[in-house]
């Protein structure tokens, strides 16, 4: 194309994209007007109003996210037709709703990511736009069927990976590569495992897969939403903007330490305690700890009913305990069975004594009346109540687990290892969270399920709903001789509104606060770190077993984590999980990846490192410093990077001032990384090697290493390019 022809084409594309923005603005105004109208809507039921508000709010959010990069390319078919591809779909209402912009997730847009010279998929040309704000500043063309050494997306892709990092992860909707697109659109109803080394984009691919599923399965998924689980709060903050930027907000983000509502654990256990807590052996320990609280009286307890002395002895309590345990109910619910058996025994004994000589079994009415009175008297007896509380106490997950950790005697009785002992039992760690969640089911609710006030409220709500249904039905069927006034319907609806609680929170807020909420899909990032007990929690949250699992076994640092995907998944989804890998590193330049690959070859020789898509010509460096020189060297790095665009981080072993640990940076990326004391990081054994591998692969541009001792053998290549700063 001549220079003049290019300029003419550029002006044409600028005009078209400007028209798309005009259409976007008009639709946004209309959507906001509809949202305001929904807020004022006074017809229908409260649920109708709630649905209208939520659906119009969702449309406003969908349109609001499209300002940046609304349209990023064009597809020209061999037939002569062409389509524009962008962040959302837009349609021409005056022309039979013809698409003027294809949503990137639409089937018709797929060739934009997958067409090649060898398999053009009916396309003649792919055009990619470079935009600033709302303006197209340039474009590049790839014509299929013409000899070329170019790889699709190189221009846009390299521009994206070389750009300075901001505060959060960016979407890749404009630069999705073919192997990524295949995974994003994979139609698999079970568990999809995406494994890839550092920088392969596995996290962002998983998030785009969520956006794709929400687009293609909206009706099935939107009422239950999606849960995304990441390793730490910094990671969650880093990725949390991707899905909203793609117009999706029905998503809950959590760390493993937040899977129990109201709890936010970040502390970690030592290696042995973490390994034990993460194993399925804890199920037996928890059950034994509960059984240990179901007691028999050491001495008979005397209860007086109408001057008839009665005893709760060990035999009676054992019978009641056996019946309660075999009921199959959780501990707190089985307490009713335990109480019922003891009540039965005591009242039967009391009936025989009190009625001796004047009451026979033929006097059924008097007999039953006396039984009712005795049961009531027993329930109000303070000693009886205190005895039941002692023999079969109401337990909460927190009180049971804390007391187990604090008591050597209780821990021994439950078959637990002394490594679990600690002074403050309630100082919760991340490994405690799945145990607390398990105990929710093992113990059951700690309040009676038949609470009188709650029953009355529900009965009133049901009555109000029946009144409303009846009056509306009467209005629908009445003839001219009937008279039903508007005030009648208003009264009925007011009555219903009094008892129907309208939850105005959005889906993400409601789901995050509800331990029993179930999701349609779950994304698990850094999944190699999750224990067997963690997986039990997640499987409870998603009964449909629809998961996208993201990880890299070579980066596993948790002693309770996965050593193979089958080990964790076959138990729950036998034959229903598939594996896909990503092999291209889009983040780490070749110069840095060669250093990390040398380390990987030492501690995981069977793992193939990902191939970097680019080199940046900046050699990573190392410098030996003394303990006194270390603080100044760190400050120097921080000062130098502050003058540059982008982000930076200093990573070191625990306890080094001015540094964070590698585990705190998992899943994150920075323009520049300084690794401090790699020899001390490695000293933590296999976990330390994985930590150092993570640290070395966080950088997108520049990597430096400060060491006080000998440089680890895997990093000796750095010594050859050692620099003084």
- Residue 196 assigned ligand-binding role: yes
Say what the pLDDT of residue 718 is.
Answer: 83
- pLDDT given at position 725: 44
pLDDT band at 637 (very low <50, low <70, confident <90, very high): very high
What pLDDT, in 10s, does the model give residues 275-319? 999 999 999 999 999 999 999 999 999 987 776 788 999 999 999
328's tokens: 């199959």
pLDDT of residue 355: 60
- Torsion angle, CA of 504/507/512/515, rounded to 10 degrees? 90
What does the pLDDT read at residue 361?
A: 61
pLDDT at residue 25, as a whole number: 94
Q: Sorting pLDDT into bands at 50, 70 and 90, what band is 717?
A: confident
Chain length of the chain: 725
Contact between residue 699 and residue 588 where contact means Cβ atoms under 8 Å apart: yes
pLDDT bin (cut points 50, 70, 90) of residue 49 is confident
Bridge pairing between strands 191-196 and 547-551: parallel
Residue-level pLDDT at 689: 92
Q: Which of 232-241, 499-508, 654-663 has the lowest mean pLDDT?
A: 499-508
Q: Which residues contact 357 (CB under 8 A, 6 or more apart)?
A: none
Q: Does residue 352 carry a pLDDT above 80?
A: no
Q: Which two tokens stand for residue 281?
A: 């052996």
Supply the pLDDT for residue 242: 84
Spell out the domains of the chain, with CATH numbers in brackets. 3-169 (no CATH), 191-260+522-580 (3.40.50.300), 590-720 (3.40.50.300)
Give the separation between CA 46 and CA 41, rounded to whole angstroms: 10
Dist. CA 561–CA 557, nearest whole Å: 7
Residue ranges of alpha helices (H) inside 125-177 are: 154-162
pLDDT in tens, 600-622: 999 889 889 999 988 999 999 99
Per-residue confidence band for 228, with pLDDT thresholds at 50, 70 and 90: very high
Could you tell me which residue, 51 or 142, shows the higher pLDDT? 142
Helix, strand and coil content of the chain, in percent to the nearest 5, comes to: 50, 15, 35
For the chain, the average pLDDT equals 86
Exposure on the CB side of residue 719, measured as CA atoms within 13 A: 10
Spatial CB neighbours of 700, under 8 Å, sequence gap ≥ 6: 161, 165, 587, 588, 589, 669, 670, 671
Mean pLDDT of 162-182: 74
pLDDT for residue 214 is more than 60: yes
Comparison of pLDDT for 555 and 467, the residue scoring more: 555
In this predicted structure, what is the pLDDT of residue 450? Answer: 47
> Rounded to an integer, what distance in angstroms lies between the CA atom of residue 443 and that of residue 413?
18
pLDDT category, 223, cuts 50, 70, 90?
confident
Tell me whether residue 200 is annotated as binding. Answer: yes
H or E element in which residue 326 lies: none
Say if residue 457's pLDDT is above 80. no
pLDDT of residue 485: 44
User: Which range has the worst mean pLDDT, 346-360, 444-458, 636-650?
Assistant: 444-458
| pLDDT higher than threshold 60 for residue 13 | yes
The answer to the question of whether 44 is labelled as a binding residue is no
- 3-state SS assignment for residue 147: coil
Strand partners of residue 254: 229
- Residue 484 pLDDT greater than 60, yes or no: no
* pLDDT tens-place string over residues 89-144: 999 988 888 999 999 999 999 999 888 777 889 999 999 898 888 999 999 888 88
Q: What b/e sequence results for 258-290 when a residue is b if at least 16 CB atoms lie within 10 Å of its CB, and e otherwise?
A: bbbeeeebeeebeeebbbbbbeebbeebbbbbb
Contacts of residue 486, defined as CB under 8 A and 6 or more positions apart, other chains included, come to none
pLDDT average, residue stretch 632-650: 94
The per-residue pLDDT for range 506-565, each reduced to its tens digit, is 788 889 999 999 999 999 999 999 999 999 999 999 999 999 999 999 989 899 999 999
Helical residues (DSSP H) of 572-662, grouped into ranges: 590-603, 630-642
**Mean predicted confidence (pLDDT) in 71-100:** 91
For 661, the token pair is 């640990």
Q: What is the pLDDT of residue 115?
A: 87
Of 72, 254, 31, the residue nearest 170 (C-alpha) = 72
Model pLDDT, residue 575: 92
Q: pLDDT by residue (tens digit) across 380-396?
A: 999 999 999 999 999 99
What 3-state DSSP class applies to 716?
helix
Confidence of residue 435 (pLDDT cuts 50, 70, 90): very high
- CA-CA-CA-CA torsion sign (509, 514, 515, 517): negative
The structure's pTM equals 0.80
- Sign (positive/negative) of CA torsion 711, 608, 212, 134? positive
- Looking at residue 474, what is its pLDDT? 46
Q: Which helix (H) or strand (E) holds 527?
A: none
Query: Average pLDDT, stretch 700-706?
Result: 95
* pLDDT reading at 486 higher than 60: no
Span 242-265, pLDDT tens digits:
887 777 778 899 999 999 999 999
């Amino acid at each position: 194309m001549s220079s003049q022809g290019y300029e003419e084409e550029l002006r044409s594309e600028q005009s078209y994209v400007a028209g798309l923005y005009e259409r976007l603005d008009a639709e946004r105004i209309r959507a906001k007007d509809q949202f305001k109208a929904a807020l004022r809507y006074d017809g229908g039921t409260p649920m109708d109003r709630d649905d209208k508000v939520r659906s119009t709010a969702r449309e406003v959010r969908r349109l609001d996210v499209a300002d940046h990069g609304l349209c990023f390319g064009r597809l020209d078919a061999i037939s002569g037709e062409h389509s524009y591809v962008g962040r959302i779909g837009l349609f021409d209402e005056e022309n039979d709703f013809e698409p003027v912009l294809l949503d990137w997730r639409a089937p018709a847009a797929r060739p934009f990511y997958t067409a090649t010279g060898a398999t053009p998929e009916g396309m003649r040309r792919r055009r990619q736009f470079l935009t600033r704000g709302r303006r197209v500043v340039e474009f590049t063309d790839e014509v299929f069927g013409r000899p070329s050494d170019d790889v699709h997306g190189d221009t846009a892709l390299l521009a994206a990976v070389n750009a300075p990092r901001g505060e959060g992860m960016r979407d890749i909707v404009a630069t999705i590569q073919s192997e990524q697109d295949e995974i994003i659109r994979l139609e698999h109803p079970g568990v999809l495992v995406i494994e890839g080394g550092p920088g392969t984009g596995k996290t962002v691919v998983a998030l785009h897969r969520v956006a794709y599923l929400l687009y293609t399965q909206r009706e099935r998924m939107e009422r239950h939403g999606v849960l995304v689980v990441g390793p730490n709060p910094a990671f969650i903050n880093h990725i949390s903007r991707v899905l909203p930027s793609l117009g999706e907000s029905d998503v809950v983000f959590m760390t493993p330490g937040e899977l129990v509502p109201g709890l936010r654990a970040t502390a970690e256990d030592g290696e042995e305690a973490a390994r034990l807590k993460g194993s399925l052996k804890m199920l037996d320990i928890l059950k034994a700890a509960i059984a240990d609280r179901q007691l028999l009286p050491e001495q008979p307890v005397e209860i007086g009913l109408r001057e008839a002395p009665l005893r709760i002895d060990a035999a009676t309590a054992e019978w009641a305990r056996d019946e309660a345990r075999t009921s199959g109910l959780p501990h707190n619910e089985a307490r009713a069975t335990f109480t019922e058996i003891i009540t039965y025994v005591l009242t039967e004994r009391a009936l025989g004594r009190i009625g001796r000589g004047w009451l026979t079994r033929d006097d059924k009415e008097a007999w039953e009346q006396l039984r009712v009175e005795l049961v009531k008297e027993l329930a109000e007896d303070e000693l009886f109540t205190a005895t039941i509380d002692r023999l079969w106490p109401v337990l909460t997950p927190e009180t049971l687990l804390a007391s187990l950790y604090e008591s050597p005697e209780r821990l021994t009785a439950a078959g637990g290892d002394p490594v679990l002992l600690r002074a403050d039992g309630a100082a919760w760690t991340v490994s405690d969270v799945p145990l607390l969640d398990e105990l929710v089911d093992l113990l059951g609710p700690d309040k009676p399920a038949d609470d009188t006030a709650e029953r009355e409220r529900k009965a009133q709500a049901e009555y109000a709903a029946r009144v409303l249904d009846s009056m509306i039905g009467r209005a629908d069927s009445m003839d001219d001789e009937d008279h039903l006034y508007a005030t009648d319907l208003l009264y009925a609806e007011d009555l219903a509104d009094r008892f129907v609680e309208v939850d105005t929170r959005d889906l993400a807020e409601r789901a995050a606060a509800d331990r029993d909420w179930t999701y349609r899909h779950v994304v698990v990032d850094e999944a190699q770190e999750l224990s067997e007990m963690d997986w039990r929690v997640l499987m409870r949250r998603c009964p449909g077993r629809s998961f996208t699992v993201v990880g890299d076994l070579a980066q596993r640092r948790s002693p309770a984590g996965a050593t193979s995907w089958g080990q964790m998944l076959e138990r729950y989804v036998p034959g229903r999980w598939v594996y896909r890998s990503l092999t291209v590193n889009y983040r780490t330049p070749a110069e840095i990846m060669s250093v990390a690959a040398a380390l990987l070859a030492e501690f995981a020789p069977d793992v193939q490192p990902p191939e970097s898509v680019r080199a940046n010509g900046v050699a990573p460096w190392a410098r030996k410093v003394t303990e006194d020189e270390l603080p100044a060297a760190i400050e120097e790095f921080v000062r130098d990077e502050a003058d540059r665009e982008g982000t930076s981080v200093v990573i070191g072993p625990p306890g080094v001032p001015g540094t964070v640990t590698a585990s705190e940076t998992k899943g994150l990326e920075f323009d520049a990384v300084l690794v401090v004391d790699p020899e001390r990081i490695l000293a933590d054994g296999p976990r330390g090697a994985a930590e150092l591998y993570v640290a070395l692969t966080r950088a997108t541009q520049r990597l430096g290493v400060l060491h006080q001792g000998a440089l680890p053998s895997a990093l000796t290549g750095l010594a050859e390019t050692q620099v003084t700063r």
